Structure 1
Amino acid sequence: MSSKNVWFITGAARGMGVDIATAALAAGHAVVATARDTQKVTAALGEHENLLALSLDITDPQASITAAQAAVDRFGRIDVLVNNAGNFYAGYFEEISDQQMRKQMETNFFGPLNVTRAILPVMRTQRSGHVITITSAAGIIGQEFCAAYAASKFALEGWMESLRYDVEPFGIYTTIVEPGFFRTELLVEGASSIWPELSIDDYAERTTATIAAWKSMNGQQGGDPAKLGAALVAIAALENPPLRFVAGADVVAGVEQKARLLLDQVDAHRELSSTMAIDTSND
């Protein structure tokens, strides 16, 4: 890819998406910034000759195709896709309604699939590109009160790890980004955070306490999204970008602990795990 690339960023009207778009523009790249409301994109990023603000509901496959075509019509290509848009359905599994669970998957999982499906033909034609998908620490480490959210992010991780093999022959890179707690609008009630619809007495006390705890963390997160935006611009410029980028010291510690736990669990039952082969001695 050249030093000036075309970035296509979803969820670019607020939160992390604004900082990623700002960093890409500052580095001299062209940016296609998408959100449901283009006026909010323009309000957040301003007017810029290298900026194209587009309305996009990522849960609408046809809208993704239309947005991808508009990007190509304006800039001629798409070099970097950042799947950033998403939301957070919080709660204990039994208190999250079936409809909420499905909405969580529709936005956080099927949304990025829609956008990527629309843009990959462009990248394949170019024989170059980079798909960056923002998952979460909850995409590699299960967490309390995150049953729906973690499920959607774990699904993204599996898809991205497998997508790599599909697109590498066409010169297309993939990178999973796992942010920890960054000071974005993810925990803003009604903006990105949605609380459980159902109520079960056994969970009531814990649910009340956990919601209060989550609300208290809003605005107190330690991660700086501007620094993450700059880091992604640097990663996209690498000759061999990483398959996974763990973003934040809190996630680094968590992933290290998870890796050790996995190895410990393998070792704990290695002998039993290794006895599953069909016995062919009597064949």
Structure 2
Amino acid sequence: MTEQQQVWMVTGAGRGMGVQIAQAALSAGHEVVATGRDPERVQDAIGAHRNLLTVALDVTDPVAAEAAAAAAVDRFGRIDVLVNNAGNFYAGYFEEISPEQLRAQMETNFFGPLNVTRAVLPIMRRQRSGHVVTITSAAGIIGQEFCAAYAASKFALEGWMESLRYDVEPYGISTTIVEPGFFRTELLVEGASSIWPELSIDDYAERTTQTIAAWKGMNGQQGGDPAKLGAALVTLAALDTPPLRFVAGADALAGVEQKAHLLLEQVDAHRELSSAMSLDES
């Protein structure tokens, strides 16, 4: 391995954004451990490459995460960049999403990255180097209609990642949150990554029907190019000081800027009341 060459581990690499991230890392000359539930599908999606290792991994299984990390070290000797990319989308209004669906959303989108990162961090700490990249979403910083479960899982990831930074910085490990907007992936493909609500409530019925139709109509029309996002991550991972947060896509940029202005407006609106909460010690 050359001094500039890195070993990447990418979850959810059998389709969508994960494929493009793995391909971008390989194109840059890096070694890649690409994981997914079906390693043959992962290999077919990415294409054969001498620097590619495909490994079976269900991110909700901590034992499988440990095995995947061990396989990476057995093959390449180290892990320099972990990309937590695997995820899915349980869409719907909160009351129509069953408790089982909401827990399933959290298991994949939140606890999944935690499982994989928990397996990889001991390796990075031994190396005294590494970079944990977690793909959240614009919905991880901006709540959206029909996204109660999905946004909850992504907001949770953001809080975890912001705090994880302080845990691992002393050991030479950096962290980056990536917040994509709408990219042309399979996230909105019904049955692949999108799951509609199990419950039905009359008050929501018409809105649910209309919103599902709108989401389906967006599939294949998203403006973001996942290949460009993959290339951007390769660029960021090569920096001496990677960013703590990377907003990906013009739509996400606009949304995050609007949210930042809204937060400041809300702070200013009640500044005097907010500041008057101290105990009177006299």
TM-score normalised by structure 1 residue count: 0.99
Pair 1:202-2:207 in alignment: no
Shift of 1:48: 1.1
Equivalents in 1 of 2:269, 2:259: separation in Å? 15
1:85 is aligned with what amino acid? A
Q: How many equivalent pairs are there?
A: 281
Aligned to 1:58: 59
Percent identity over the alignment? 81
Equivalents in 1 of 2:264, 2:217: separation in Å? 35
Shift of 1:46: 1.8
Give 1:253-272 correspondences, 5 Å limit.
253-272=254-273
Shift of 1:271: 0.4
Pair 1:221-2:222 in alignment: yes
1:16 is aligned with what amino acid? M
Equivalents in 2 of 1:96, 1:222: separation in Å? 28
Q: What secondary structure does 1:258 align onto?
A: helix
Equivalents in 1 of 2:53, 2:140: separation in Å? 30
Residue deviations 1:56-88 (CA, integer Å, cap 9, x gap):
000000100011000000000000000000000
Residue deviations 1:176-198 (CA, integer Å, cap 9, x gap):
00000000000000000000000
Aligned alpha-carbon RMSD (Å): 0.7
Equivalents in 2 of 1:57, 1:240: separation in Å? 31
Pair 1:232-2:233 in alignment: yes
Give 1:1-283 correspondences, 5 Å limit.
2-281=3-282
Q: What secondary structure does 1:91 align onto?
A: coil
Q: What secondary structure does 2:175 align onto?
A: strand
The structure 1 segments of at least 4 consecutive aligned residues displaced by more than 2 Å after TM superposition are: none
Equivalents in 2 of 1:277, 1:186: separation in Å? 47
Equivalents in 2 of 1:45, 1:116: separation in Å? 23
Equivalents in 2 of 1:128, 1:86: separation in Å? 26
1:120 is aligned with what amino acid? L
Shift of 1:49: 1.0
Q: What secondary structure does 1:182 align onto?
A: coil
